[in-house]
Amino acid sequence: MFCDVCKTKEATVFLTQIVEGKMQKVNLCESCSKEKGVNDPTGFALADLLLGLGAAQEIDKNPAGGRCPVCGFSQVDFKKTGRLGCSACYDAFAEGLTGMLKNMHRGLVHAGKVPAKLAVERRRTQELVRLEEGLARAIADEHFEEAAGLRDKIRHLTTEKAVPDEVNRMAAISDKMEASASPASKAGKKS
Amino acid sequence: MKLSRIIANTGEWLSGSGPHDQIVVSSRVRLARNLKGKPFPGWAKKSERVAVLEEIRGAVEQLPEMEESFSEKLEDLSPLEKQVLVERHLISREHAAKSAGSAVVMNTAQTLSFMINEEDHLRMQAIRAGLQLDEVFAMINQADSELEESLDFAFHDDLGYLTACPTNVGTGMRASAMLHLPGLVMSEQVNKIINSVNKIGLAVRGLHGEGTEAMGNLFQVSNQTTLGEAEEEIIGRLNKVISQILEHEQNARQILLQRRAETLLDQIGRAYGILCHAHSVTSKEALNLLSFIKMGVDLGLFPAKNRLQVDELFIETQPAHLQKGLQTTKLGAEERDSLRAALIRAKLKQMPEPEIGKIPTGSATTLPSEES
């Protein structure tokens, strides 16, 4: 098999990438692969020079002259180095990065390990969201017994690591609930 | 602990054993991590890099598994020492090029190594002999979990661990295995295998990773993508592919034995002959010929007790290793080639000639008549 670029030498480097759902293959000889910067561990040069979709092109989707507000890294720097300046660059250049990440990876959402510190916080946030939705539904449906249970769970979760604002807010909700529950028969449980 | 004391011994991944270690030389998993709110090394000022270095180095040295370890700033290592570490796959070529603001910490068994301020603030790896990707992942995952108690790593809700290069974002993990595939190379099947592995989003590379040539019939298979899959899924995929390559290699060797035993014996015999008598051998030639000797050990043509000797030659004949015991200035390529030839001759002298009678083949007709 011959090299796709020079078409004279035997291809020894075989690249395959999925680009927008379509498979693209490029076969290169040793010297063309070096010249095209396939050695470049980023794979940018690859996308850029061979597949024509281009990291450079993707990153240009960001407003021209864009800079990361945190570290001052610019789009030009990114095009030049294939590296980002800091964590905040991922948000600063999000628009251009998304297309690039889509081409590079198997998805756009991390599915692996989460630092334990964050994992606890993450689970709690998710649980709170779930409980609050349940609470809102329960109040709307006037299922006050269920609402009281949910309220207690929320209160428990939020006071676990004292979040004063949240505790105050929950107290206000429970006052309101009691007020609206008292005329009803036995639903409102004193807390 | 001094580096010279550590490198006097070969690492566990070379001298140790593991499942399928005749074909799978080593398994390695590295994780890339960065500290929250700090610019990545390539963009950070020197003072910022030094601050990051101090913070991470302190945390790494405190790890229980690093009780017996070696820790040094890159600026305090000689070019030769750095190159020795590269040849042992303990630091990357990129890291070896760094000086002020970078460091390396590794344990004495050389199974764990931490590169500080490489492309990312921290690149940590575990490496062991044979096919044990699950085990090396468990080792490095454990170290990561311990480190995150004292270090705040940059983590994004959607994108996971943030890295200087978007190709590593998500898990920040690169898992790889080094495979010795002389059978597939000899039977000209290796390109087909590389092609199909590439198609499923895994990469096959040469001895020293990205952009390097495959020498000594050694190939590295690794994951290409890091975002969208859990670590265990990626490793599972890799394990499956490696098991298949392993099977193909074993089959290729069997077929060579049955159909081309003469060619096979010729190659091994020639490799032995040249290495026993040559007075100048380049490192590429050494690797390519040693590959046949290694296969000869696998096929029972050389005693199994010589295996470690042969495996060690793969590393000991690399340019920096050749010179590591010498206090002289850097040797020229020609001097190295003759030194290398002398080292190999000395080692192979302790090994008997290939016993062709031992070759486990059914087709006796292709074998010389002295076979009993």
Distance CA A105, CA A97 (A): 12
Q: How far is A135 from chain B (nearest CA, A)?
A: 26
Q: How far is C-alpha B32 from the geometric centre of its chain's CA atoms? A: 18
Query: What residue in B sits closest to A84 (Cα-Cα)?
Result: B164
Report residue B365's pLDDT band, with 50, 70 and 90 as the boundaries. very low
Q: What is the mean pLDDT of residues A102-127?
A: 87
A160's tokens: 């676990």
Our CA-based measurement puts residue B249 at a distance from the nearest CA of chain A, in whole angstroms, of 20
* Chain B, nearest residue to A44 by Cα: B167
Does residue B369 surpass a pLDDT of 50? Answer: no
- Strands B24-33 vs B173-180: parallel, antiparallel or unpaired: antiparallel
| Lowest mean pLDDT segment, chosen from A173-177, B142-146, B203-207, B214-218 | A173-177
Section B150-157 average pLDDT: 94
Facing residue for A86 by CB, picked from B40, B148, B161: B40
Kindly provide the ipTM of the predicted complex, given to two decimals: 0.84
| From B40, B154, B228, residue closest to A108, measured CB to CB | B228
Cα separation, B93 vs B273, in Å, equals: 34
Please indicate whether, in this complex, the C-beta atoms of B39 and A85 are within 8 angstroms of each other: yes
Over residues A138-147, the pLDDT tens digits come to: 999 989 889 9
Lowest-pLDDT range, A91-95, B240-244, B342-346?
A: A91-95
Q: How far apart are CA B118 and CA B115, in angstroms?
A: 6
Chain A neighbours among B 276-315 (CB < 8 Å)? none
Identify which of A15, A39, A118 has the shortest CB distance to residue B211: A39
Closest to B178 (Cα-Cα) out of B142, B129, B145: B129
Q: Which residues contact B174 (CB under 8 A, 6 or more apart)?
A: B29, B30, B32, B168, B222, B223, B226
pLDDT at B349 over 80: yes
Q: Find the Cα–Cα–Cα–Cα dihedral A174, A178, A181, A186, rounded to 10°.
A: 110
Q: Which residues of B touch A118 (CB under 8 A)?
A: 155
Q: Is the dihedral of CA B235, B239, B245, B246 positive or negative?
A: positive
Residue B232 dihedral angles phi and psi, to the nearest 5°: -65, -35
Higher per-residue confidence, B310 vs A160:
B310
Could you tell me the pLDDT band of residue A99, with boundaries at 50, 70 and 90?
confident
Q: Return the beta strands (E) in chain B as ranges.
A: 24-33, 69-73, 103-107, 112-116, 122-129, 155-156, 160-161, 173-180, 202-205, 218-223
Number of other CB atoms surrounding residue A74 within 10 Å:
18
SS3 content of chain B, % helix, strand, coil (to 5): 50, 15, 35
Instruction: Tell me the sheet residues that pair with B202.
Output: B223
Question: Mind listing the pLDDT tens digit for each residue in B117-138?
Answer: 999 999 999 999 999 999 999 9
Closest residue to B166, CB basis, from A38, A86, A100: A100
How far apart CA B265 and CA A128 sit, in angstroms, is: 70
| Residue B332: both structure tokens together | 């020229």
Hey, is the C-beta of B87 within 8 angstroms of any chain A C-beta? no
Element holding A25 (H helix, E strand): strand A22-28
Q: Determine the residue among B38, B167, B168, B198 to mutate to test chain A binding: the one whose Cβ has the most chain A Cβ atoms within 10 Å.
A: B167
A79 contact residues in B (CB cutoff 8 A): none
* B-chain residue closest to A102, CA distance: B227
- Is the pLDDT confidence value at A184 over 50? no
Instruction: Tell me what percent of the residues of chain B surpass a pLDDT of 70.
Output: 93
Instruction: Name every residue whose Cβ is closer than 8 Å to that of residue B8 and which is 6 or more positions away in sequence.
Output: none
Q: DSSP secondary-structure letter at A63?
A: P
Q: Which residues are CB-neighbours of B245 under 8 A, at least 6 positions away?
A: B179, B181, B184, B193, B197, B221
pLDDT at position A163, please? Answer: 57
Cβ distance of B170 and A110 shorter than 8 Å: yes
Least confident of A5-9, A50-54, A179-183, B38-42: A50-54
Mean pLDDT lowest among B57-66, B260-269, B356-365: B356-365
Mean pLDDT of A20-29: 66
Mean pLDDT computed over every residue of chain B = 90
Under the banding of pLDDT at 50, 70 and 90, the label for residue A156 is confident
Q: Closest approach of chain A CAs to the CA of B143, in angstroms?
A: 12
In this model, does residue A41 exceed pLDDT 80? no
- B window 20-49, beta carbon within 8 A of A: 34, 36-40, 42-43
Averaged pLDDT for residues A54-83: 75
Give the pair of three-digit tokens for residue A72: 């001052």
**B230 neighbourhood in chain A, CB within 8 Å:** 111-113
Does residue A18 have a pLDDT over 80? no
Query: In the Cβ-directed half-sphere of B1, how many Cα atoms lie within 13 Å?
Result: 20
Task: Give the nearest partner residue to A110 out of B160, B199, B210, using CB atoms.
Answer: B160
Q: Do A41 and B211 touch (CB under 8 A)?
A: yes
Q: Shortest CB distance from B166 goes to which of A14, A40, A97?
A: A97
Contact between B227 and A104 using a beta-carbon 8 Å cutoff: yes
Asked if B97 is an interface residue toward chain A (Cβ–Cβ < 8 A), one would say no
C-alpha B166: how far from its chain's center?
A: 24
| Residue B240 in contact with partner chain A when CB distance is under 8 A | no
pTM of this structure: 0.78
A-proximal residues of B, 206-225, CB under 8 Å: 210-211, 213, 225
The secondary structure of B178-229 as a DSSP string is EEE-HHHHHTT-HHHHHHHHHHTTEEEEBTTBTT----TTEEEEEE---SSS
Nearest-neighbour CA in chain B from A99: distance (Å): 11
Is the pLDDT reported for residue A90 higher than 60? yes
Q: Would you state the pLDDT for residue B367?
A: 41
Give the pLDDT of residue A27.
78
For residues B137-158, b (16+ Cβ closer than 10 Å) or e, as one string?
A: bebbbebbebbbeebebbbeee
More confident residue, B54 or B364: B54
Q: Which of A19-33, A91-105, B52-66 has the lowest mean pLDDT?
A: A19-33
Q: In angstroms, rounded to a whole number, what is the distance separating the alpha carbons of residues B119 and B160?
A: 18
Q: Tell me, what's the pLDDT at A128? A: 86
Whole-number Å distance between alpha carbons of B19 and B343? 30
Res. B155: pLDDT tops 90: yes
- pLDDT band, very low/low/confident/very high, at A168 (cuts 50, 70, 90): low
For position B135, what pLDDT does the model report? 97
Residue of A nearest to B38 (CA): A86
CA distance A148 to chain B (A): 31
Query: What is residue A76's predicted lDDT score, i.e. its pLDDT?
Result: 82
First to last CA, chain A: 78
Q: For the CA atoms of B230, B235, B240, B244, what is the dihedral angle to 10 degrees?
A: 140
Q: Which residues of A132-151 are buried (b: 16+ CB within 10 A; e: fewer)?
A: eebbeebbeeeebebbbbbb
- Which alpha helices (H) appear in A40-143, and where do they start and end? 44-49, 55-59, 75-81, 89-92, 94-104, 116-140
Q: Are strands B155-156 and B122-129 parallel, antiparallel or unpaired?
A: unpaired
Does B229 reach chain A within 8 Å, measured CB to CB?
yes
- B210 vs B263: which has the higher pLDDT: B263
Place of tokens 């060619």: B263
Judge contact between B104 and B7, C-beta under 8 A: no
Per-residue buried b or exposed e for B93-129, using 16+ beta carbons within 10 Å of the residue's own CB? eebbebeebbbbbbbbbbbbbbbbbbbbbbbbbbbbb
Chain B closest CA to A77's CA: distance in Å?
Answer: 10
Interface with chain B: mutation pick from A26, A30, A86, highest number of B CBs within 10 Å: A86
**What whole-number distance in Å separates Cα of residue B15 and Cα of residue B13?**
6
How far apart CA B90 and CA B342 sit, in angstroms, is: 27
Residues of chain A contacting residue B156, judged by C-beta atoms under 8 Å apart: 87, 90, 110
Contact list in B for residue A86 (CB cut-off 8 A) is 37-40, 43
The per-residue pLDDT for range B22-73, each reduced to its tens digit, is 999 999 999 999 999 999 999 999 999 999 999 999 999 999 999 989 999 9
Q: Which residues does chain A have within 8 Å of residue B38's beta carbon, measured at their own beta carbons?
A: 86
Give the integer Cα–Cα distance in Å for B252 and B25. Answer: 18
Contact status, residue B341 vs residue B274, Cβ threshold 8 Å? no
